[in-house]
Amino acid sequence: MKFVCRFSLVFFFFLFAYLQVAVFGQQGDSKEKQKDLLSSLNWKKWSPNPVPLFTPKESLAQFKLAPGFKIELVAHEPMVKDPVFIDWDDEGRMWVGELRTYMMDLDGTGEDRRMSRVMVLEDTDRDGVMDKATPFLEDMLNVRSLAFVEGGILVVETGGLWFCQDKDGDLRCDERKKLFDFATSATDNIEHAENGLHFTLDNWMYNSKSSRKLAWRRGNLIEMPAKARGQWGMGSDAYGRLFFNHNGQWFETDWAMYDRQWPLKGDSVKAPTNRVYAIRPNTALNRNYRPGRILEDGRVASVTSISGLAVHSHGAYGEEWEGAIFSMSPGTNTIGAFLPEEPFPYSDQYNHQLYTDLVWKEREFLASTDERFRPVNASMGPDGCLYIADFHRGVIQHKRFLTTYLRHQSAERELDKHIGLGRIYRIVPENHKPVPPPADLVSGLSHPYLWWRLRSQKRIVEGDRQDLVTDVENLAENKKAKPHARVHAMWTLVGLGQLKEENIRSAIEDEHWFVSMTGLRLAGESKGVADFFPDEFKELAEKISGRKKVSSFLASYAGIVSQSGYPSRAITTYKDKEADWLKKDKSLLSLYRKGREQYSVSCGACHQADGKGLPNMAPTLAKSDWVTGDANRLIGVAVHGLMGPIKVNGKELKGIPSVMPAHGFMKDDQLASILTYVRNAWGNRSGLISATDISAYRKSESARVTPWTEAEF
């Protein structure tokens, strides 16, 4: 799920500001005058009536799906409610994370109640439909994701990551331990906090909205810095590429795992378009009163509510769909599909898959006329098929960003009714033939489906199965084995600390480009120096770089490591250093330190610990004239927000959403400490802002309810 700030679903963008409606107007209102927002009824042209509630069977009939596939209902309420995350255990049971307290009414009442759950669903008669449900956990605070690890289950909720154990086999948690703070920013901003726990080829679990990756080793959770990616959901493919997205972007992918050797230009590849093609009007989005936001047929032109995603890589859909990205658009009741123009790594271009529609001309891979269909996350299952978590809710915009326009429409169309629902669907190819699970863990590394290969690798590594080292080594060096099986075997040996020089030499000399490239990538691991390419492999790498009929990607990589070693793999981590001049002013230093702590919780997720912001999300605060300039202007932005476009240090800001939401709900001393910190961190030096300064501003601008614009300043 990826729940949008401006118009969408449960967890998305910016920071927060919830003012009392009766006094200040609705929080999500932008610079437009209040009376204009209140009188805007343009939605009645396309969607004048209350939104019906369809039964699960009726809702299933509202779908239009790409030819060659069929959609099946796997589970629905009351068995599952408000699902946002799906995974499976080795016995084929489906585990579902539920976010049950999200927007239970238009005021968001009860969001802090501990009533979210982790449910275990079973298909006891093997007919493809879940018929038994067991609550593993029932008293969690907004469950965000979960992962199976050796000896138990990791569960992420708002504020913490827990290790949970079922000690008697009844599928109920008997003991749980909080490992550390996690997703802490969700306490103040539910739309911006860590989620994912997605295990990938390199033995790490990656997370969206996070600058760290995690690994489970011998009963302990290890964390390391990682590149900040995405907002909600995470996926990967058979080559170790990571896939993520933002609310206004269908997807983005990078190959940092293999030293960023793809794409040829830049560090990542983004979706070729943000256009979306629904099969119903999309009026229930925050600012559709603006001219041009809604097309003549009632649909919106561009995505603004992209949520989780999944990648079909070595699954049940065959080579025709290899590398396909399926991305969720809950605000438009659709799922988009993107296919690579050529097999990886020979192209970085993707085609948006669209299908002819008799009514709407074109539509997405999956589209529904049911406005309560809210696909917020997806996973590829052990059967190689795509599973969809349908939050099934009318109101998907968080209370802190709900505009007057959307609130009135939601009430009149009864979008706020019928909560506590949820459906899970499976998309199956029409000629689907089930593939049996592997017989054991080592054979699992050779399974045709990526899901089983990763799960087998995870269990061997996390279980520290040293007894399987010989068998895994044999697979790694077996020239007759499938290339991807050998790659998994090598990464498994890395996880066990048993990768040897002979394994690397065998791999580098292999004819398959991916096996050879993996050998080069892991050469340092065989010597216990992960980030240093050993001298004894340089001659072999030189031969590969000069060999004829070798992949250009492999030749290029071999040339790089033979000449200059591995490209830098370091992830910049910021440790705040208090300047000497700060330490000389006790009052300033005290406020600075309080602000640093508050900033990390309230602002750091978007603007980052080093103040440099995030691409497509938040601008830099380091050495920004908006921060170091007029203090009253900065206070104004903090209290009432800012509506773009803007210039930073004289240059127009591009690629960043044009809204900085108000923080007026925060106390004067909180705002004062945060602003003092940002004005004096990261090389900035601009003095102190006090709680009295904040209070004085509030009094002078007490009549204001809308964000500022640069022109007004």
Q: Does 145 score more than 60 pLDDT?
A: yes
Beta-carbon neighbour count of residue 703 at 10 Å?
A: 5
- The pLDDT of 580-585, averaged and rounded, is 90
H or E stretch covering 156: strand 152-157
Express each pLDDT in 252-306 by its tens digit: 999 999 999 999 999 999 999 999 999 999 999 887 877 778 899 999 999 988 9
Determine the pLDDT at residue 641: 87
Determine the pLDDT at residue 548: 74
- The pLDDT of 493-516, averaged and rounded, is 96
In angstroms, the Cα distances linking 102 to 142, 370, 421, 711 are 8, 20, 12, 37
Q: Fill in the DSSP letter of residue 565.
A: -
- The pLDDT of 31-51, averaged and rounded, is 75
Determine the pLDDT at residue 31: 54
Express each pLDDT in 333-390 by its tens digit: 999 999 999 999 999 999 999 999 999 999 999 999 999 999 999 999 999 999 999 9
Express each pLDDT in 643-701 by its tens digit: 878 899 999 887 676 677 777 867 899 899 999 999 999 999 998 999 999 999 999 99
Instruction: List, in order, residues 6 or more apart from 324 with CB less than 8 Å away.
Output: 311, 312, 317, 337, 338, 339, 340, 353
Task: Quickly state the pLDDT bin for 5 (edges 50, 70, 90).
Answer: very low
Q: Are 222 and 215 in contact (CB under 8 A)?
A: yes
| Distance of alpha carbon 299 from alpha carbon 277, whole angstroms | 8
Determine the pLDDT at residue 459: 98
Q: Does 593 score more than 70 pLDDT?
A: yes
Task: Quickly state the pLDDT bin for 10 (edges 50, 70, 90).
Answer: very low
- Indicate the range of 57-66, 500-509, 547-556 predicted with least confidence: 547-556
Q: Does 25 score more than 90 pLDDT?
A: no
- 3-state SS string for 585-601: CHHHHHHHHHHHHHHHH
Determine the pLDDT at residue 168: 96
| Distance of alpha carbon 153 from alpha carbon 632, whole angstroms | 49
Q: How far is CA 235 from the centre of its chain?
A: 9
At 46 the three-state DSSP class reads coil
For the chain, domains (ranges, CATH) are: 21-89+96-429 (2.120.10.30), 580-709 (1.10.760.10)
Determine the pLDDT at residue 18: 31
Determine the pLDDT at residue 6: 34
Q: Are 221 and 215 in contact (CB under 8 A)?
A: yes
Q: What is the pTM of this model?
A: 0.82
Determine the pLDDT at residue 28: 64
At 384 the three-state DSSP class reads coil
Task: Quickly state the pLDDT bin for 22 (edges 50, 70, 90).
Answer: very low
**Residues across the chain:** 713
Determine the pLDDT at residue 3: 38
DSSP 260-303: T--SSSSSEEE-S--B---SS----STTTTSTTSB-TTS-BSB-
Determine the pLDDT at residue 37: 54
Task: Quickly state the pLDDT bin for 549 (edges 50, 70, 90).
Answer: confident
Determine the pLDDT at residue 237: 98
In angstroms, the Cα distances linking 421 to 184, 291, 331, 394, 713 are 27, 34, 17, 10, 46
Task: Quickly state the pLDDT bin for 601 (edges 50, 70, 90).
Answer: low
| Distance of alpha carbon 446 from alpha carbon 484, whole angstroms | 8
Instruction: List, in order, residues 6 or more apart from 526 with CB less than 8 Å away.
Output: 499, 500, 501, 503, 504, 534
DSSP 174-228: -EEEEEE--SGGGGT-TTSS-EEEEE-TTS-EEEET-SEEEEEETTEEEEEE---
Determine the pLDDT at residue 141: 94
- Indicate the range of 21-35, 153-167, 317-331 predicted with least confidence: 21-35
Summary mean pLDDT of the chain: 90
- The pLDDT of 123-138, averaged and rounded, is 96
Task: Quickly state the pLDDT bin for 21 (edges 50, 70, 90).
Answer: very low
Determine the pLDDT at residue 38: 53
Determine the pLDDT at residue 204: 96
Express each pLDDT in 430-461 by its tens digit: 989 999 999 999 999 999 999 999 999 999 99
Look up residue 119 and give its amino acid: M
Express each pLDDT in 607-635 by its tens digit: 878 898 865 567 899 999 999 999 999 99
Q: Fill in the DSSP letter of residue 621.
A: -
Determine the pLDDT at residue 32: 54
Region class of 491: left (phi > 0), else alpha (psi between -120 and 50), else beta: alpha
